[in-house]
């Protein structure tokens, strides 16, 4: 009898993240949908995976390969129309970020910037050694773009300015890069000083489990097939991802929180229309 009792771990039924973290993640996703073009999220965002389907092709040089990766991250984040430019670290000079004026949508093919001809580019520095860790490079580029997106929106997110770095990581998951961000939440930043600029590596602000939870929330809201996640996600993260996916699905069915209940209703309508289409 005693042996059967100990088959169940005392931690088995504990939530993936604590209640405060869960509330912040849900509140932040609601904020993202309201402030960062929810139409693009529902109609065009997709779960981006670190494989050749999303990052195909080859290039004749390291710089050309970096440009391809950069263009793909812009496309998946819906920011191809933004004046964002990848520059070598040697040619990068910090400058004030211009304020963009949007005619229509914030992201996607219909995005138009009214003052495009009057402003300078927003540059992101790049070091060729970053290609040695492609997932980390993608995460770094997305993180920089998410920071630009949040700054341009200019609306304080849940948690305020003190949680800005965490918000940027969550926005990256909201844009579809949750698998890549979970995989790179903790990663060795190796290399010698001559071939690796650590200042250009992604610095994770959102903890690993919270990142996995944000990934699971994206998948639930978008009705994404989670089978590809198992192949792409680090092995030790898949179990908490599945638990988070189940927790979130149940929470959205049962919640009485006014904002979260509205999110659940909007999401149910989206999933219903998705099945009809």
Domain boundaries in the chain?
17-276
Q: State the pLDDT at residue 60.
A: 80
Query: Could you identify the residue written with the tokens 């990766």?
Result: 69
Report the distance separating Cα 267 and Cα 120, nearest Å: 38
Are 141 and 76 in contact by the 8 Å Cβ rule? The answer is: no
pLDDT in tens, 158-211: 999 999 999 999 999 999 999 999 999 975 555 544 445 555 567 889 999 999
- 3-state DSSP assignment of residue 31: helix
pLDDT tens readout for residues 235-257: 999 999 999 999 999 999 999 99
Q: What is the pLDDT of residue 14?
A: 84
Question: CA-CA distance, 159 to 51, in Å (whole number)?
Answer: 34
- What residues contact 39, with CB distance under 8 A and at least 6 apart? 105, 108
**In the prediction, which pLDDT does 201 show?**
64
pLDDT for 202 equals: 75
């Amino acid at each position: 009898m005693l042996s059967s009792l100990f088959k169940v771990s005392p931690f088995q039924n504990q939530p993936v993240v604590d209640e405060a973290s869960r509330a912040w993640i849900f509140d932040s996703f609601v904020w993202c949908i309201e402030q960062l073009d929810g139409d693009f999220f529902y109609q065009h965002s997709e779960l981006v995976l670190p494989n050749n389907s999303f990052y195909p092709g080859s290039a004749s040089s390291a710089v050309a390969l970096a440009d391809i990766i950069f263009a793909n991250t812009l496309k998946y984040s819906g920011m191809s129309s933004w004046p964002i430019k990848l520059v070598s670290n040697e040619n990068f000079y910090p400058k004030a970020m211009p304020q963009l004026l949007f005619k229509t949508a914030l992201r996607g093919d219909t995005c138009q910037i009214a003052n495009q001809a009057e402003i300078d580019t927003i540059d992101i520095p790049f070091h060729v050694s970053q290609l040695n860790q492609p997932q980390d490079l993608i995460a770094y580029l997305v993180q920089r773009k998410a920071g630009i997106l949040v700054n341009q929106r200019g609306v304080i997110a849940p948690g305020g300015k003190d949680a800005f770095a965490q918000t940027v990581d969550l926005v990256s998951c909201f844009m579809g890069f949750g698998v890549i961000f979970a995989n790179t939440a903790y990663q060795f930043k190796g290399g010698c000083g001559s071939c690796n600029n650590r200042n250009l590596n992604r610095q994770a602000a959102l903890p690993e489990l919270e990142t996995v939870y944000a990934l699971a929330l994206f998948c639930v809201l978008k009705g994404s097939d989670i089978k590809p996640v198992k192949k792409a996600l680090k092995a030790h993260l898949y179990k908490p991802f599945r638990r988070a996916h189940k927790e979130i699905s149940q929470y959205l069915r049962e919640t009485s929180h006014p904002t979260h209940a509205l999110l659940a209703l909007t999401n149910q309508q989206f999933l219903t229309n998705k099945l009809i289409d």
